[in-house]
Amino acid sequence: MFSVRWHKLIGDVRAEAGRAAVMIVAIAVSLVAVGAVLGAYAILTREIAVNYLGTRPASATLELSNGVDAALLQELRQGSIVSEAEARDVILARARVGDEWRPLLLFVVDDFDDLRLNTFRRESGAFPPPEGTMLIERTAVGMLAAAEGDAVLVKTPSGSPVSVRISGLVHDPGLAPAWQEREGYGYVTRATLARLGEAPVLHELRIEARDRPRDIASAERAALEIAGWLGARGHRVHEIRVPPPAEHPHQRQMTTVLILMLAFSGLALVLSATLVATSLAAMLARQVREIGVMKTVGARTSQLVAMYVVLLLAVGAVSLVLAVPLAVVGARFFSSAAATMLNLTLTCSTLPWWVFATQVAAGLVVPVVVGSIPIARATRMTVRETIDQYGVSPDTVRARFAALPMPLRNVLRRPARLGLTLGLLAAGGAMFMTAINVSASWEKNLAKIGETRFYDLEVRFRAAEPATVAARVARVPGVTHVEAWGYSPSAIARPGQIDVVRTYPDRGHGSLIMLAPPPRTTLVRFPLRSGRWLVPGDSGAVVLNHSAAAQVPNARLGDRVTLSLDGAPTSWVLSGIVEEIGSPAVAYVDTESFSRAAGTGTGARMLRLATSARSAGERIAILRRVEDALAEAGASVEAGIPLAELRTAIGDHIVILIRSLLAMAAIMAIVGALGLASTMGSSVVERTREFGILSTLGATPKRLKRLVLAESFFIAGPSYALAWVLSVPLTALVDGLVGNLGFLAALPLVLSHTAALEWLVVVMTVSFFATLVPATRAGALTVHDALARL
């Protein structure tokens, strides 16, 4: 049975049910955010290990010029230089989808029944795929607009279009989702590859280094060692591809998103706890006399402190009861969405104990820590101090404020509480606006893709085609401008070493290409970070985009940069660095120098076209006409890509971050609005007796209402200004974080008018209604009733 003091506490909570509800909701909302993010982190960390690491990712892929034969494979497997080896090949083919050809990565597997590295799992259909058929990755169904049993027209670089039936689906957790990369993933046997017109040779030697390197530098060293071993046995290795060890291709993005979300939700919790502290302070302010009475009848300070700490613990406990189940739902929802982004299959959605423990600790400890300040202040007052308070707030206004209008003087009566309220609102508002600003920054960054590129279509050839193809394409209806560009995969070359590219088996992440635009190209115009863009006759000069520059961090303008072209080192003078959003690492060189270095003569490896198309459909139609014209000219097209695909691919990569930020903005809005409502409400309720006095002096209810509304706007206004000011550096910070994550460049700073307006509406609406209700109630009290209040 409860002792009397606990009955008192329960009675207090009943009497202040609204305030208690605000405290509980504020803490619960934050705990849901904290729990959901932590839970998602726990689930994803575990599932990435189960899914991605479960595929036994190769620590390196070595590209052997003459292919990997069975004898070499056997020697490697039996020897001690690697712990596992497998031969594979990856062909960039094309698949016909409706009117367009889409990129299709064909993974060629030697033995589907003996997958050792970069394994994948059958989802449905025939496994291994019968000859003449292919398996596709489950996320490629949409990209290829085809399902199991359907036939797809496939064209490999050396072959003619062949209809290939999809014999089943696989799940390959080592690959980013196909819809994100805007390409299809197919799996075929060597026999099928031969049917498609390619030599059935597997050029990739995938290996797992003996010591399982933990970082990319060690992985590179191990791969180079093996390349040396192979070289000594007459096997020429012309490229090595090393992915970051044990790291999913999109793991960095996901980790950053989760850390960002955790930071936001942690701040939301601190804000909520501050809200609890201000609410408690208001509650204690009304109970000052009761505290005095309790002390008079024998209550020790420690007993009173214990009472209010228990109150906070109860608030935390009730919040936890509400928050934990919702956090579990949130964690599962978030991890499920993230799993879709990472191409994972969630094998288990159970949350580990430490997620609950952290939530419980946060829910119970944080409010008590923050609430300890008002508790200490209220319970340490002497009895005389408490009984000296007569209901009219004892807080005095400093003499220098005497000339200010009355509502403003009232606001300044409690500087500490005013500071806390302003801080709470400003932080909530700043985070709300930051979330929306970053979202707008992201959109602006995506828009840069179109603002710096003035072509609609890109066509790549398997080998250099005669310059006349450009003229031919220029005559295709709808094409307004054509430029022939040099193009070649490349790598930062190190003297005496084989090229090492830090990329995944899909070759899309971390690669470097060399492009040679014609002099005075009109199809791209990238902003310069340093140096200058290429000029006609710029022999031996290279301009790196910022992603490429990041691969040679010590290079300065005028330095020599060595880039390999087809395994051969070529030397260039660094003339400039440009910012290029939405592109892999690119080295731009002048056409003549490229032709010499790559040995392509006057031929073109790539065409970039501007068109008159006004819609995606028109663009596809023009692309088809272009491809037909090129086919007639006998050109071997490797890929034809609308620029819009690039924007879609990048947008899809980070959509989860933007949605998460907006969810956080909503949470901040809730916490901020609750804080404002609570503070405004308290400020009015506490002064009921004062209003009674004002009434006796002739103040009408309307006048009183106007007074408190003016006060509320004197708090809301500065808090809004402060929030906006705070949101600027905060937005810049998050822009930097997110931009560097996605593009190695900070997002452009955008201060969204929508965000500013939305927060203004929230702040003004909430302060109006939060004040109006208690002000109306106070105004409606008779003078007698008002004076009877404490």
Contact flag: residue 183 with another protein (CB under 8 A) = no
158 binds another protein (CB under 8 A): no
Interface with another protein, residue 398, by CB under 8 A: no
Cβ-based nearer residue to another protein, 14 or 475: 14
Could you tell me which of 521, 643, 623 has the C-alpha nearest to residue 581? 643
Amino acid present at 376: A
Q: Please state, in angstroms and as integers, the Cα–Cα distance from residue 374 to each residue in 397, 677, 684, following that order.
A: 21, 19, 19
Only one of the segments 6-14, 252-260, 536-544, 728-736 lies at the binding site for another protein (rule: CB under 8 A); that segment is: 6-14
- 3-class state of residue 87 by DSSP: strand
Which residue reads 């046997």 in tokens?
189
Q: Candidates 221, 289, 507, 509: give the one binding another protein (CB under 8 A).
A: 289
Residue 11 binds another protein, judged by CB under 8 A:
yes
Segment near another protein (CB under 8 A); pick from 156-164, 380-388, 573-581, 640-648: 380-388
Give the list of residues 6+ apart from residue 3 with CB closer than 8 angstroms, or none.
none
Alpha-carbon gap, residue 16 to 24, rounded angstroms:
12
> Rounded to whole angstroms, how far apart are CA atoms 208 and 226?
10
Q: Which of 80, 113, 114, 298 binds another protein (CB under 8 A)?
A: 298
3-state secondary structure of 269: helix
Q: Does residue 413 touch another protein according to CB under 8 A?
A: no
DSSP 716-734: HHHHHHHHHHHHHHHHHHH
Stretch that binds another protein, among 324-332, 382-390, 491-499, 765-773 (CB under 8 A): 382-390
Any idea of the CA torsion for 151, 157, 160, 165, to the nearest 10 degrees?
Answer: -10
In the bound complex, what is the minimum distance in angstroms from residue 682's beta carbon to another protein?
Answer: 18
Report residue 569: phi and psi, to 5°.
-75, 140
Which of 8, 165, 210, 414 binds another protein (CB under 8 A)? It is: 8
CB closer to another protein, 233 vs 384: 384
Which residues, in sequence order, are bridge partners of residue 565?
490, 568
**Shortest distance in whole angstroms from residue 678 CB to another protein:** 20
In the window 54-83, what residues touch another protein (CB under 8 A)?
none
Burial class (CB in 10 A: 0-12, 13-18, 19+), 701: middle
- Looking at 2-10, 69-77, 546-554, 724-732, which segment touches another protein (CB under 8 A)? 2-10
Binding flag, residue 15, another protein (CB under 8 A): yes
Amino acid (1-letter code) at residue 101: W
Measured in whole angstroms, the distance separating CA 288 from the mean position of its chain's CA atoms is 48
* Alpha-carbon distances, residue 148 vs 95, 133, 186, 190, 621 (angstroms): 15, 10, 12, 20, 27
CB of 278 to another protein, least distance (A): 22
Residue with Cβ nearer another protein (6 or 354) = 6
Least separation, in Å, of the C-beta of 296 and another protein?
Answer: 5
Task: Return the range that interacts with another protein (CB under 8 A); candidates 207-215, 383-391, 711-719, 757-765.
Answer: 383-391
Question: Is residue 296 within the footprint of another protein (CB under 8 A)?
Answer: yes
CB of 389 to another protein, least distance (A): 12
* Residue 329 CB, nearest approach to another protein (Å): 36
The residue to which tokens 């797809």 are assigned: 152
* 11/537 with CB nearer another protein: 11
Between 283 and 331, CB nearer to another protein: 283
| Binders in 303-342 for another protein, by CB under 8 A | 303
User: If binding is defined by CB under 8 A, does position 522 make contact with another protein?
Assistant: no
User: Closest separation between CB of residue 4 and another protein, Å?
Assistant: 4
Q: Say which residue the tokens 């003549």 belong to.
A: 592
Residue 399 CB, nearest distance to another protein (Å)? 10
Output the 3-class SS for 393-449: CCCCCCHHHCCCCHHHHHHCCCHHHHHHHHHHHHHHHHHHHHHHHHHHHHHHHHHHH
Give the dihedral sign, CA 759/717/264/318.
Answer: negative
CA dist 330 and 515 (Å) reads 45
> Is 287 or 335 the residue whose CB approaches another protein more closely?
287
CB closer to another protein, 207 vs 311: 311
What minimum distance in Å lies between the beta carbon of 291 and another protein? Answer: 10
Query: Measuring CA to CA, how many Å separate 564 from each of 91, 245, 269, 430?
Result: 21, 24, 52, 48
Q: Considering beta carbons, is residue 303 or 700 the nearer one to another protein?
A: 303
Task: Please tell me whether residue 400 binds another protein under the rule CB under 8 A.
Answer: no
Determine if 12 is a binding residue for another protein (CB under 8 A).
Answer: yes
Judged by CB under 8 A, which of 148, 290, 618, 652 binds another protein?
290
Among 65, 74, 301, 530, contact with another protein (rule: CB under 8 A):
301
Return the number of the residue (306 or 326) whose C-beta is nearest another protein. 306
Instruction: List the one residue from 50, 293, 710, 751 that touches another protein (CB under 8 A).
Output: 293
The full DSSP string for 692-759 is HHHHHTT--HHHHHHHHHHHHHHHHHHHHHHHHHHHHHHHHHHHHHHHHHHHSSPPPP---HHHHHHH
Give me the phi and psi of 373, to 5 degrees please.
-65, -55
Asked whether the CA dihedral 591, 596, 597, 603 is positive or negative, the reply is positive
Triad 197, 203, 204: Cα angle to 5°: 130
What is the smallest separation between the CB atom of 683 and another protein, expressed in angstroms? 21
Is 387 a binder of another protein (CB under 8 A)? yes
The verdict on 389 binding another protein (CB under 8 A) reads: no
Instruction: Using CB under 8 A, pick the residue from 295, 448, 546, 647 that binds another protein.
Output: 295
Nearest residue (CB) to another protein, 372 versus 648: 372
Q: How many C-beta atoms lie closer than 10 Å to residue 312's C-beta?
A: 25
Residue selected from 337, 383, 728, 744 as contacting another protein according to rule CB under 8 A: 383
Q: Please, which residues have CB within 8 angstroms of residue 68's CB and are 6 or more apart in sequence?
A: 87, 202, 203, 204, 205
Establish if 380 lies at the interface with another protein (CB under 8 A).
Answer: yes
In the complex, minimum distance from the CB of residue 304 to another protein, in angstroms, rounded to a whole number = 9
Instruction: Indicate the residue among 10 and 761 with the shorter CB distance to another protein.
Output: 10
Binding span for another protein by CB under 8 A among 289-297, 458-466, 619-627, 643-651: 289-297
Measure Cα distances from 9 to 16, 207, 368, 369 in Å: 10, 68, 16, 19
- Closest to another protein by CB, 299 vs 728, is 299
Q: Does the protein bind another protein through residue 3 (CB under 8 A)?
A: yes
689 binds another protein (CB under 8 A): no
Interface with another protein (CB under 8 A), residue total 30
Find the binder of another protein among 233, 384, 520, 614 (CB under 8 A): 384
Nearer Cβ to another protein, position 8 or 532?
8
Binding site for another protein (CB under 8 A): 1, 3-5, 7-8, 10-12, 14-15, 289-290, 292-303, 380, 382-384, 387
